[in-house]
A and B are shown apart, each in its own frame.
Chain A
Amino acid sequence: MKNAPIVGTSVPRIEGRDKVTGLARYVDDMVLPGMLYGATVRSRIPRGKIKEFTFGPDIDWKAFVIVSPRDIPGKNCIALIEDDQPCLADGLVNHPEEPLLLLAHPDRHLLPKAVEAVSVEYDPMPAIFSMEESEKLSQVVWGADNTFKTYLIEKGEVDPVWENADYVVEGEYTTGAQEQLYIENNGMIASFDPQQGLTVWGSLQCPYYVHKALMKLCNLPENRVRVVQMETGGAFGGKEEYPSMIAGHAALLAMKSGRPVKIVYDRMEDMAATTKRHPSRTRHRTAIRRDGKILGGEIEFTIDGGAYETLSPVVLSRGAIHAGGPYYWPSVRIRAKAVATNTPPHGAFRGFGAPQSLFALERHMDHIAEVLGLSSVEIRRRNFLTPGQTTTTGQTVQEEIDLGKLLDRALEVSHYHTKKEKFAENQQERSKKGMGVAAFLHGAGFTGSGERYLGSLVGLEVCSDGSVRVLVSSTEFGQGTKTVLCQIAAEALGLRYEDVGIAQPDTREVPNSGPTVASRTVMVVGKLVQSAAVGIRQTLTASGKLGESYSSDEFRVACRAYVAEHGKFRSLARYEQPDDIVWDEEKYRGSAYAAFAWAVYVAEVTVDLVTYSVSVDDFVAIQEVGKVLHPVLAKGQIIGGVAQGVGFALYEKVIWENGRMQNGQMTNYIMPTSADLPDIRVFFEELNNVHGAFGAKGIGELPMDGPAPAIVNAIEDALHIAFDSIPLLPEDIFDALAKRAVPEIAPSSAQGQQ
């Protein structure tokens, strides 16, 4: 007997009840007997040699546990891609807020004073704070040439296209650092027992990243390190890599003191010390035919990685691959580079490089339209990728995507043409209105061969009471991971949603299903859950305990009978790369992603000419994300991503001074409130995706990519001023308008070539 479909319906969020009643347990809600509180002494300078620590006179230092690099049992590094980032700076400081020493004490109120009382004497060294300084090699602060990574993507022959071009359009676009600003600050608790080993509980996205880092740092074997994810109050990429650092710190204090240690950052420490979105600079030079067709182009994409490599190569890769957007480039050369500066390392944040390069491209498309005298709509329509064409890496578009249709629908529901006309005719003295459009794509899952290297493993377990549990290291931090994976398991097993449970990610219990990043969970991990479910059915059917069709109760009876005979059992499924996904890591060519999600967004804005503030009055988000498995959660992902995109464009500015964030408070780093955002209207087109669970694709990051360019394009439409840097604050608009008041027309970088 088949139950009603579960996939495609908005079942209740599995942990929702605990969240609305306040019962959900986050790391700061947990207290262990005898627990100490830990704190971090950090560098105050951007770069230099540490000469001496002085412990101030008014503190009873004997009551403190103090950890220095000498106390590290293993290698002093946070293992990730390279091992270049120390857990505690040893002799040399490379950025402000770099961890130097750790303190722990039973009374958490005493810690801030103690941290203040440690003074550090340095031999300061010259530091660099911008990509330009880094490229000039005014100081070499990392490796031989300040370069973490470069990529070259080449398609076709670019060099001859300039001759045949009717127009060559150039532009430079920049984006700033952005703080993830999860509302729950980072935190970890560690406990060490010489027999049992090390256990950490914390706010995190990737249990096995933390596990790997702790093994190396603490010199412990795999089975003596255990990582447990607590309920996690938002992450957005911000809890991908830095939790390994905090877990390491708590672990070192716990190992030295023999007592459990909790480290929970306050907001200012979290903002100043942990990762942010990479600042970026993109240069475009594009050859265009008179009819608006792109002939070819050169794209230079550069990001500021901060002081250590961390995830910069991977962020760079995604940014570079997305730099050509959803358009057909007969030829293109993309040069990408991640450089070092003396700021805290920048890291993962929803979109992971793509929001940066797509902001540039989607501003550039409007720039091209302006030069050619075409509309923003037409320039896009004439260059959209169509099925059978190839992307910049040479990947053939297999999906039956019709971007023109997405565009038409976006224009229709936003009343784009009518409004644009009306705004052009009817501009007010006090305010100007405009419409902007952005088209984009986002690849789901790890890039290229990434998923093959990960080789994710997923389990489904049949328990003695006949219930089924999903075993994955994929974490819930708001997106609905647990809910959707249970939906998938229930649907694949032919059960009811409530018949399936899911284990809390705990490396002692769950296999490594990979990190919870890259919009991969529903598509890749979900598909594996679906496969594991087939294994359970087959086992039960083969044992003769389950017929071809069954009710939930019959299934449970069969499970119980099977477990009684054979013990509890697991069905495991490991990722295998499909044959049609071929990637050349050397040449950076081939199938970069198993699937792309596609979107067209339209923003309507008002610029107030008295306050110079911009309000987004309406926002239409149309996307194709494969099959939508949970409409309420999917819509929540899109709206939430758009809101962060509005912040990225208009509000969120990190003020840097000597490599340190100066506005590390919610009072002076401004994110959108409920009063700042418009109705965000979400529409889905649904194509099937053979690579995803029940046809799903990745969805989480996509909505971060489009809002910023759509909004800035709308501002250009309102003011006829091109802004090519974000965040775009009222003072920037004021400056530009003041400049325009002086009768001088900025020279266009476009040139006709005939």
Chain B
Amino acid sequence: MSESSQDARCEIAFTVNGQLATVRAYAMERLLDVLRHELGLTGTKEGCGEGECGSCSVLMDGSLVNSCLIPVLQASGANIVTIEGLASDGHLAVLQQTFLEYGGAQCGICTPGMILAAVHLLTKKPCPTLEEIREGLSGNLCRCTGYMQIIEAVAEAGRHGAAT
């Protein structure tokens, strides 16, 4: 670590969407801010800033976390996936496709977190029942959809047997 005595920031390295990223940041900065401001990954959204709404959800070493509650130091060495990491070569992931088709995204602000929560759910449980989907997504708030079209989109992706 190369830090001057005046600068309390430190160098932290982790993998984001398959790429190694090294940032200079305060240890207690929120992972959310580092992703958005330092790395330009603005697909991760802030809704409440206290881990209640799930808009800032990302995958960290396979776990679904609220990035507003993760001090960036805790992400050191971790493998992080954000919404920007799902589509490859311009091809949407299955869940992104089913969200589009079934009306799972309205205003779009909860969508990145919701899709990552769905990825997480389908990874753990490839063919969830509707009740399991309701339970699995209940940490992510959506004010537009009343959730049903999101649930249909996740169920359809599950039928395709594809977590991403």
Contact = CB atoms under 8 A, between A and B. Distances in A.
Given A182-B107, A666-B48, A21 B146 contact: no
B144 interface: yes
Contacts of A480: 106
B92 interface: yes
B61 interface: no
Interface string A321-355: 00000000000000000000000000000000000
A182 B143 contact: yes
Q: 8 shortest A-B CB distances, which residue pairs?
A: A22-B43, A233-B109, A19-B108, A478-B107, A643-B146, A22-B83, A478-B106, A639-B146
A477 interface: yes
Interface of A: 10, 12-13, 15-26, 28-29, 180-185, 231-236, 266-267, 477-480, 632-633, 635-636, 639-644, 665-667, 671-677, 679-680
Contact of A636 (B53, B103, B133): B103
Interface string B78-121: 00001110110000100010011111111111111001000000
A539 to B, nearest CB: 35
A478 B144 contact: yes
A700 to B, nearest CB: 11
Contacts of A235: 107
17 contacts: A18-B108, A19-B105, A21-B43, A183-B141, A183-B143, A184-B45, A267-B48, A477-B107, A635-B103, A666-B50, A666-B52, A671-B143, A674-B142, A675-B135, A676-B138, A677-B146, A680-B148
Contact of A632 (B43, B102, B137): B102
Nearest to B148: A639
A19 B105 CA distance: 7
Name the prevailing secondary structure of the A interface residues.
loop
B49 interface: yes
A180 B143 CA distance: 9
A640 B43 contact: no
B42 interface: yes
A676 B108 CA distance: 21
B141 A636 contact: no
Contacts, number: 167
A25 B82 CA distance: 16
B138 A673 contact: yes
A21 B83 contact: yes
Nearest to A666: B52
Contacts of B55: 183
A17 B100 contact: yes
Contacts of A29: 36, 42
Given A640-B106, A671-B141, 4 more contacts: A20-B104, A266-B49, A478-B106, A674-B151
Given A478-B107, A478-B108, A233 B45 contact: yes
Given A19-B111, A20-B92, A23-B43, A674 B143 contact: no
Nearest to B87: A21
Contacts of A22: 41-44, 82-84, 112
Interface residues of B, number: 54
Contact of A667 (B50, B115, B134, B144): B50
Contacts of A183: 45, 47, 53, 55, 107, 109-110, 141-143
Nearest to A24: B108
B149 interface: yes
Contact of A21 (B96, B102, B141, B151): B96
B150 interface: yes
A161 B142 CA distance: 48
A21 B89 CA distance: 12
Contacts of B111: 19-20
Contacts of A20: 83, 92, 96, 99-100, 104-105, 108, 111, 115
A267 B68 CA distance: 13
B107 A666 contact: no
Nearest to B104: A20
Contact of A639 (B109, B133, B145): B145
B108 A632 contact: no
A677 B150 CA distance: 13
A16 B105 contact: yes
Interface string B43-66: 111111110110100000000000
A675 B148 CA distance: 11
Contacts of B86: 21
Contacts of B134: 674-675
B112 to A, nearest CB: 5
Contact of B144 (A18, A28, A640): A640
A646 to B, nearest CB: 8
A24 to B, nearest CB: 5
B135 A234 contact: no
A362 B151 CA distance: 31
A232 B103 CA distance: 17
B145 A636 contact: yes
A667 B52 contact: yes
Contacts of A266: 49
A682 B1 CA distance: 59
Nearest to A645: B146
A25 B43 CA distance: 8
B109 A665 contact: no
Contacts of B101: 12
